[in-house]
A and B are shown apart, each in its own frame.
Chain A
């Protein structure tokens, strides 16, 4: 299971907040220590200056009995040296030896195992050394540190809770969406609600999802309709098959049985052809097509298909003419052959005996043109929109057909990006089926 966005956000936000807090705490602490140092140093310098100003008049001072003015006050010690060697005056907590070897400025010294901060100043014969135990500074630093650490320790869990609440609230639309999607049955493709406060990140996702749902629903619906259409369309051939079989079964004589059995076989062939066409239609999936796309010579393909169908045409005295030049299109040779076969087959079926069916292939500014022209009855302008819809049979009832041929043609044309158009034949008679393929990429 992948880590949840919430816990990831929570952990990283907490870590980042804690790091920033700790770093700024450390910086603040060091700043504070530095300021304390400066302040105490300034105090030392001030005390030294004070002592220096009164150096000549100073006598023994019993600092032991001075009242403690501050909790750190006890640790301040001083020495007044004359000419740098004679200790004229010192506080009781100061040693008899020099607090520091230096004559001026600050120094850190170790005296009797304790650390002292010493300030020395010299004027005329006087050398003043004022010192303060560094422990005082440590104590101040510690207490400042404590002051900084305490809110950190208390605040971090509080901050964590706050972050958790904010993160949860921020991710609420996502949680709701996941709940909503999780509740759905596979065939429930109604659009998801897109609340106004869903956020700029989720809104495009939701809209895209809804778009996908709509596409899926449409393709489900078209599948369902196709299956229903197909089942429906199989009823009549099967009814014919059954009727003819029952007629044969009950026939009183061979003379009566034989034609019925012939018709049973015809009905079987027709049902098989319908199934073939249904399968062809079902297999026309874009994915399959893309994998087998190649430069294909339309003219050569048409001549092959025409050769296959020539016997059918000859039987009815129909002249099958292929005109034009070698022209390539980008496409799937097998599918294009199916397209050509369906168009030619249709043209031959509906053409009158002893007429001409013409296939013309050529280039134009718009792309590659394929015409299939017959001299049959044609199709009324108003009905042409319905051509190529599944199971629409607009032709004569006495011409056998499944009503699927042109829908296969339409589908293959769509896959090749070709436009399908129905025109009148050249002299206003018959039908001119025009396919315009895009010119192949060069």
Chain B
């Protein structure tokens, strides 16, 4: 899952990025509100980790502009401001969660997973689709009762497809959700991962919609 971290503090931003990557997220990190708005305009993210005290455009303005254009992106505010007023204002401005610094990385990852699965319309911690289950927290995948070993990208692709089971995702959508900036995307990378998933699970599980993209075959 690709998340955007907006944090002006260098050491904290770096730590959040590295920590979320260790916990199975693709994390991008920007250091001010303007860069955050730009990134949100051009890229697709599964969730946003937003600091409030930001240079150029402050966090609440970022949030208000994001909600102003009807984005349903899950937003977790991570801030040093612990006053009740601030929490209320943050949540009422459209945040889905409000966490006061310092935060435990495992907890932050769990909150993000919960936000992401809720935004996909599910309350179950593990994603399930027919004989296939995927637990974002333990990073376990089971198919027909047997555990399946997946690489990090394969796992991320499968998770993405399962979150949007029954819907077609274009290659651009998949790429933008899977790859953070700075990582090179080979032209056929998505095809390669789809191929691997079909081989490790079953070929019919991912359906190709020619000229459009891919979808997870629901109920297979």
Q: Which residues of A contact B (CB under 8 A)?
A: 232-233, 235-244, 246-247, 250-251, 260, 263, 266-267, 270, 396-398, 400
Please state if A263 and B15 are interface contacts (CB–CB under 8 Å). Answer: yes
Contact A239 B101 (CB under 8 A): yes
Choose from B55, B78, B105 the contact partner of A247 (Cβ within 8 Å).
Answer: B105
Report the count of interface residues on B (CB-CB < 8 A).
Answer: 26
Interface flag for B9 (CB, 8 Å): yes
A397 near B101 (CB under 8 angstroms)? no
Distance of A394 from chain B, by nearest CB (Å):
9
Q: Which of B16-24, B197-205, B206-214 contacts A (4 or more CB under 8 A)?
A: B16-24
Chain B residue numbers with a CB within 8 Å of A244 are: 11, 14-15, 18
List 29 contacting pairs A-B, 8 Å CB cutoff, sorted by A. Answer: A232-B80, A232-B82, A235-B80, A235-B100, A235-B102, A236-B9, A237-B9, A238-B102, A239-B9, A239-B78, A240-B9, A240-B12, A240-B15, A241-B11, A241-B102, A242-B15, A243-B12, A243-B15, A243-B18, A243-B102, A244-B11, A244-B15, A247-B19, A250-B19, A266-B11, A396-B55, A397-B8, A398-B31, A400-B10
Is B189 interfacial (CB-CB < 8 Å)? no
B72 interfacial contact with A, CB 8 Å: no
Taking a contact as CB atoms under 8 Å apart, the answer to whether B10 and A250 are in contact is no
What's the nearest-Cβ distance from chain A to residue B218, in Å? 35
What is the minimal beta-carbon distance from A137 to any residue of chain B, in angstroms?
A: 96
- A270-B22 in contact (CB<8A): no
Q: Is B26 an interface residue (CB 8 A)?
A: no
Q: Do the beta carbons of A260 and B18 come within 8 Å of each other? A: yes
Q: Is the CB of A246 within 8 A of B19?
A: yes
Q: Other than A238-B102, A244-B11, A246-B105, give 12 A-B pairs with Cβ distance below 8 A.
A: A232-B82, A235-B100, A236-B9, A236-B101, A237-B11, A244-B14, A244-B18, A247-B15, A250-B19, A263-B15, A267-B11, A397-B55
Distance from B181 Cβ to chain A, minimum over Cβ atoms (Å): 18
A243 vs B9: C-alpha distance when bound (angstroms)? 12
State the CA gap A441–B91 with chains docked (Å): 58
State which of A233, A235, A250, A263 has its C-beta within 8 Å of the C-beta of B11: A263
Q: Which of A235, A247, A267 contacts B22 (CB 8 A)?
A: A247
Pairwise interchain contact B101-A235, C-beta atoms closer than 8 A: yes
Nearest CB in chain A to that of B81: its residue:
A232
How many Å from the CB of A102 to the closest CB on chain B?
A: 110
Contacts of A250 in B (CB 8 A): 19, 22-23
Minimum CB distance partner of B15 in chain A: A243
Alpha-carbon distance A235/B103, docked complex (angstroms): 10
Tell me the chain B residues, 23-58 only, with Cβ under 8 Å from chain A. Answer: 23, 31-32, 55
A272 to chain B, nearest CB (A): 13
Q: Quick one: closest A residue to B103, CB to CB? A: A239
Choose among A251, A263, A397, A400 the residue that contacts B14 (Cβ–Cβ < 8 A).
Answer: A263
Q: Tell me the interface secondary structure of chain A in the complex.
A: helix
CB of A256, distance to nearest CB on chain B (Å): 8
Q: State whether the Cβ of B104 lies closer than 8 Å to any Cβ in chain A.
A: yes
User: Smallest Cβ distance from A127 to chain B, in angstroms?
Assistant: 118
Closest 6 CB pairs of A and B: A243-B15, A239-B102, A240-B12, A239-B101, A235-B80, A240-B11
Which residues from chain B contact A246 at a C-beta distance below 8 Å? 15, 19, 104-106
Bound complex: CA A334 to CA B144 (Å)? 74
Question: What chain B residues lie within 8 Å of A263 (beta carbons)?
Answer: 11, 14-15
**What is the chain A residue whose CB lies nearest that of B105?**
A246
Residues of chain B within 8 A of A396, CB atoms compared: 55
B22 CB → nearest A CB, Å: 5
Q: Are A270 and B105 in contact (CB under 8 A)?
A: no
Q: Which residues of A are found within 8 Å of B100, using beta-carbon distances?
A: 235
A398 touches B10 (CB 8 A): yes
Q: Are B12 and A233 in contact (CB under 8 A)?
A: no
Task: Return chain A residues, CB-CB under 8 Å to B32.
Answer: 397
Contact present for A243 and B16 (CB under 8 Å)? yes
**Residues in B whose Cβ lies below 8 Å from that of A267:** 11
Residues of A within 8 A of B55 (CB): 396-397
Complex interface: chain A residues within 8 A of B14 (CB): 244, 263
Give the docked Cα–Cα distance between A260 and B17 (Å).
11
Contact status B12-A397, CB under 8 Å: no
Judging by beta carbons under 8 Å apart, are A239 and B12 in contact? yes
**Which residues of B lie under 8 Å from residue A398 when comparing CB positions?**
10, 31
Chain B residues within an 8 Å CB radius of A400: 10
Nearest residue (CB) in B for A251 is B22
In the bound assembly, the distance between CA atoms of A263 and B18 in angstroms comes to 12
Task: Please indicate the chain B residues that have their CB under 8 angstroms from the CB of A243 in the complex.
Answer: 11-12, 15-16, 18-19, 102-103, 105
Contacts of A240 in B (CB 8 A): 9, 11-12, 15
Complex interface: chain A residues within 8 A of B19 (CB): 243, 246-247, 250
